[in-house]
């Protein structure tokens, strides 16, 4: 009699064969997902199928398509330890003509760089690029926000380079089907806003409107239903604020008022989806530049319930108990020289820092992975790792996000 391990191996081979040879409804699912195979064994196999192969698996039957597209399936992958971590980055293509690999000359006349989504597979240590949004030959808007939600990547906001007008467009990429769809437009025109994802919803707040007026308004987007709803206004205007989800709440950190252009605030506001109320935290972001001005918060990363940020060339962590920040570690120098970090994001177990480093006065992307030590501050040393580079992914990363799938 075959062991459970052997049964799963045989099931895996059968799933892979069926994913490349079967079409919708070719498999009789009346008695289960696959004939002569217990559903329990089949699901143990399915959660081990690489993400890139799920697009084929879903065509085996309608029931499999529903499974692969379900939130529960990805939660099961995490539970079984078979999920992969990915980092998505908004990045211009290195070719000045704007052509992506495999594209024809349809983009060759564009003078502006074409922005797309680069994806780094942390497990396989390989780089890839998502396809262009159909019909969007100029690429995604510059400064587009990227947010990962339940196996989907949402790109929203930014500016179109063709006219430098703010975009209210929302584009959703489904990793299971490997396709883009157009989402419902943002109800409010806003640039440089804060955002964060929680329970399948994306919260946005602040930024500025077309007249450069800082905003107090906030909205929430339900990715599954493709619907926007208004939230209560914040207590203060916050342009160029930064968002983070911490302890099941939406934090909007720093930013500045219309009449205080560029003078970043030390305070933050926190939205609780349970009470539907905002609260304030004074002096949450006191970090300063060398000129004694409050630092632009840039980006944050939440790992293991802790909030991390960049302060110059240091990684700092926030203590909510003490309402203060402490240095965790300094970003190491490498063969490419000293790094100027620009983005920080968190995968399931590490923090990924991206920035530019110069070699012979030529700047190129450098990406590092950092696993923090235990405890706050420099007492628990972490582990640094240089992520492998790829000649097709050397430009600066504007925004990034990470997810498990």
- 31-41 tens-digit pLDDT: 566 666 777 77
Q: Which pLDDT tens digit goes with each residue over 113-126?
A: 899 999 999 888 99
Q: Which pLDDT tens digit goes with each residue over 234-265?
A: 999 999 999 999 999 999 999 999 999 989 99
32 domain residue, yes or no: yes
93 domain residue, yes or no: no
Q: Name the residue range of residue 31's domain.
A: 4-80
Give the model's confidence band at 232: pLDDT under 50 very low, under 70 low, under 90 confident, else very high: very high
Report the pLDDT value the prediction gives residue 3, as an integer from 0 to 100: 53
pLDDT at 228 over 50: yes
68 domain residue, yes or no: yes
53 domain residue, yes or no: yes
Greatest Cα-to-Cα distance within the chain, rounded to the nearest angstrom: 76
349 domain residue, yes or no: no
51 domain residue, yes or no: yes
Give the model's confidence band at 173: pLDDT under 50 very low, under 70 low, under 90 confident, else very high: very high
Q: Which pLDDT tens digit goes with each residue over 280-315?
A: 999 999 999 888 899 999 999 999 999 999 999 999
75 domain residue, yes or no: yes
pLDDT at 322 over 50: yes
Q: What integer is the mean pLDDT of 122-142?
A: 90
Mean pLDDT for all residues in the chain: 84
pTM of the model: 0.83
Report the pLDDT value the prediction gives residue 380, as an integer from 0 to 100: 57
Give the model's confidence band at 80: pLDDT under 50 very low, under 70 low, under 90 confident, else very high: confident
Based on the structure, what is the number of domains in the chain?
Answer: 1
Q: Which pLDDT tens digit goes with each residue over 201-226?
A: 999 999 999 999 999 999 999 999 99
- pLDDT more than 70, % of the chain: 83
pLDDT at 102 over 70: no
304 domain residue, yes or no: no
């Amino acid at each position: 009699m075959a062991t459970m391990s052997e049964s799963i191996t045989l099931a895996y081979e059968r799933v892979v064969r069926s994913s490349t040879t079967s079409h919708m409804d070719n498999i009789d699912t009346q008695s289960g997902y696959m004939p002569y195979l217990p559903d329990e064994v089949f699901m143990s196999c399915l959660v081990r199928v690489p993400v890139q192969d799920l697009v084929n698996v879903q065509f085996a039957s309608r029931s499999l398509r529903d499974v692969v597209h379900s939130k529960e399936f990805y939660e099961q992958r995490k539970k079984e330890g078979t999920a992969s971590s990915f980092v998505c980055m908004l990045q211009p293509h290195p070719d000045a003509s704007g052509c992506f690999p495999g594209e024809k000359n349809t983009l060759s006349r564009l003078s502006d760089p074409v922005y797309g989504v680069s994806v780094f597979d942390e497990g396989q240590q390989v780089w890839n690029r998502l396809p262009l949004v159909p019909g969007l030959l100029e690429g995604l808007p510059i400064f587009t926000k990227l947010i990962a939600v339940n196996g989907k990547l949402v790109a929203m906001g930014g500016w179109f380079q063709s006219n430098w007008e703010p975009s209210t467009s929302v584009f959703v990429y489904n990793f299971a089907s490997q396709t883009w769809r157009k989402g419902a437009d943002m109800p409010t025109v806003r640039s440089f806003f804060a955002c964060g994802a929680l329970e399948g919803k994306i919260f946005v707040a602040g930024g500025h409107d077309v007249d450069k007026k800082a905003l107090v308004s906030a909205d929430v987007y339900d990715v599954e239903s493709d619907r926007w709803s208004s939230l209560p206004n914040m207590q203060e205007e916050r342009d160029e604020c930064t968002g983070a989800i911490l302890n099941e709440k939406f934090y909007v950190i720093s930013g500045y008022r219309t009449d205080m252009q560029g003078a970043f605030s030390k305070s933050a506001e926190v939205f609780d989806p349970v009470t539907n109320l905002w609260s304030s935290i004074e002096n949450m972001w006191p970090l300063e530049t060398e000129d004694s001005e409050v630092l632009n918060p840039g980006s944050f990363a939440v790992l293991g319930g802790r909030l991390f940020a960049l302060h110059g060339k240091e990684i700092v962590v926030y203590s909510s108990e003490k309402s203060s920040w402490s240095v965790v570690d300094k970003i190491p120098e490498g063969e490419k020289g000293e790094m100027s970090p620009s983005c920080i994001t968190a995968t399931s177990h590490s923090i990924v820092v991206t920035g530019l480093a110069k070699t012979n006065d030529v700047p190129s992307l450098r990406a590092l992975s950092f696993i923090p030590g235990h405890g706050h501050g420099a007492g628990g040393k972490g582990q640094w790792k240089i992520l492998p580079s790829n000649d097709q992914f050397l430009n600066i990363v504007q925004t990034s996000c990470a997810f498990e799938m």
